[in-house]
Structures are given as structure tokens and as C-alpha cells.
Structure 1
């Protein structure tokens, strides 16, 4: 068991308190409620994006379908107009004019059928455009909400990071000049024991594991030299005796 000045061991408790604070800040940074909210919004956006793309595709397809229907109607109208002009001009034989009259009747029926198709496509397009507008508005609202929460997250990060910088500065001051062997042992134990490598002995209780030492072990510890580095028999942490307990 290494030895280290008693004053260094007591200062180690200050270092431990600051390290615990840094661990708490790191945990707080990892578990900010804004992070969970952002993840939730991203999941909702992913689901809504699929609906948005589907709706956009449907609208684009219907617009193309409507354009074709309008073109078909216009083509029949143009042909009917040409035939009507020829009929009005009396061009051709009686047989030709009769054929033109029959074709005009057929074109009128054809135009009526095509206009029904056009109207049906327009109605479907109108419904899909309304649905697209709703999905787009919902998507925009989610995006705006995510931007807002990300801003809140960044503000919280900045606050935590500023606090971390202050605690790190305090820790550097507290750890300056500490016994190298004591520091190395402390760092190793911190990695093994959930972030707490040193604890105070208060009365008979180890503040690390919260268990009480039996009287014989306590007497043996108190009989050791002041610079002896003592380990808790239960949890293995560096056990720091306070002046009134030595």
C-alpha cells in the first residue's frame, strides 16, 4: 500500500467531489429532455416525410393526368371547330357535308365523355392537393418545432459546457501538486468503481459504499501512520480519514 501526505489525501476528497460534479454534468448533457424531444420529432418527421412524398407524387401524377385529359378535350374541340367551319362554309358534296355532320355529332359525344374524365381528374386532384396542403403544413410545423427545440438544446449545452469549464478549472487547481502515486491509484479506482475512487471515513462508515467498518478494522486503520493510504475493505476505495477521525 503506498503512502501519501495526509493533506494530499484530504485534498483528494475535493478532487473527487469535483469529478463527481463533472460526471453529473456529463450525465445531464446526455439526458437533456430536449434530446428525447428532438429524437421524437425526428421520428415523426421521418413518418410524415413518407406521407409527404407519397402525396406529392400523387399530386404530380394527377396533374400530368389532368394535362393529358385537357389536351384530349382540346384536340376534340379543335377538330369539331374545323369541321363546323367546313360545314358552315358548305365545302364539299352533300355526302361530304353529311359525313361532317355525323362526325360532329360523334365528336360532341366524345367531347362530353372526355370532359367527364377531365372533371373526375380535377376533383381527385383537388382532394389530393388539399391533403398535400395539410401534410405540408404539418411537416412545416414539425420542422419549426424541431428548430426551436434544437435551439433550446444548444442553449442548455452552452450552459452546461460553461459550468464544466469552471469545474475543470477548479479541479486542475485542486489536483495540482498531489502525490503522483496517490493520483494514479485514484484514477485507476475511479475507472473501476463507477467514478468514485476515494471516500471519507465518517465515524465507522465509508462514505463510498455506505457500510460501517467493524471496530477491529477501524482500530487497525487508526493505528496506521497518518500518511498511510488506506483502502475500504468492503468497496476497495481509498478511505480518507478526516482529522477528527484519526
Structure 2
């Protein structure tokens, strides 16, 4: 995955520079190495022009939540900017596994055995091994994706048996409540499962997430503006 060090070409002000500065400060407060957090710019629903404006500032890692939308935007962007890295951050249907493996570089939303099996088969067929996060329904919310906490150990056993390269856990805490306890719980679950990567934190709570150990944060509206 990309190790980003574009500070020399980032403008001295603006949303991207402000977010990078906040990440750096949060890493420092937590006693973490500088640049140990990957910033994923969530570009769903955003036009190519808005994405290219961030690329021009040195942002190379993007996230989309729909296979079709990514396929419409990113092949041409990749042709013009070979260093781009694309993360799948939305719910994924098993029948889209082949397309997802073809389009993306990292998958954040493995949440059930059938999807793990489909992705493993698609990776084998394509000859590509994509790092994966298992998504956990950290707040036990029926309307959200993610496996139940109680199902996490079994899902990891099955994913690993399939050869799926699981590197960490992902979660979206409940809205309108303090995120820190949910981030701390995800971090504990990851440690207990022998995983060291955490995809957590969005526009409103990414600083808290970084201080608790997020290795990947997913920022949309703070970079691009409200949808």
C-alpha cells in the first residue's frame, strides 16, 4: 500500500493540508511514528475533476463504495496517474467479487463467509492478492453491514483457511455518539485476533481514531464538501 509523503507539494492551506496536519498532530500525541496513518479520500459520488484536484495536491489513495462507480471513473484516472491506489469501502455483493478484484487494490468490507469465499476464488483466478479488512458491526446495528462481534473469530478462521490475506479490522461506529469506546473495542478485537491494521475514523472523528490506533482513516466530506 502507498506510503504517502507529499507534504512538499501540498498547498500551505486548504482541507487536505489541514487534515494532514491534524493527522500528524494526533500521531504525535499518541506517540506514534509520523506518517503511520493512511489517509483514504472517499470519492464516492464525486466527479473526476474533484478527484484530480486532490491528485494534483499529492493525494494518491482513494476509496469508493460501489464497483460500478469505480469502474466508470478510475481506469482513465489510473492511466493518467499510475501511482493511484483504490480501496473498496462499501458493502460488496458476492457476485461482484470478480469485478472488485479487478478494480480495487484493498477491500475493507469482508463481512461473511460467502463473500470471503467469492473473493478468494476471484483473487486466485485473477492472480492478484488484495489485502482485506474484516468489517465488524461494532455497534450491533441491524441496518449496518459487518459481522457480529461474536461471529468474528469463526469468520477469520474461515477467511484464513481460504487463503484470504486479512490484514485488519474495519468498523463504522454508531452515529451521534462518542466514537472513542467503539474505536477502543475494535483495537482490542484486532489485538486479540493477531491483527495490527485498523480501518476506522471518518471526517468527524478521525483525530480520535488516530490517537486510538487507526492505520487507515476514511475521509469524504471534510475533503470534498457535503454531498
Q: Counting helix residues as a fraction of each chain, which structure ranks higher?
A: 1
Note whether the superposition's TM-score is higher than 0.5: no
Give the alignment's TM-score, normalised by structure 1: 0.20
Question: Whose radius of gyration is greater, 1 or 2?
Answer: 1
Greater relative contact order: 1 or 2 (C-alpha under 8 angstroms, separation 6 or more)?
Answer: 1
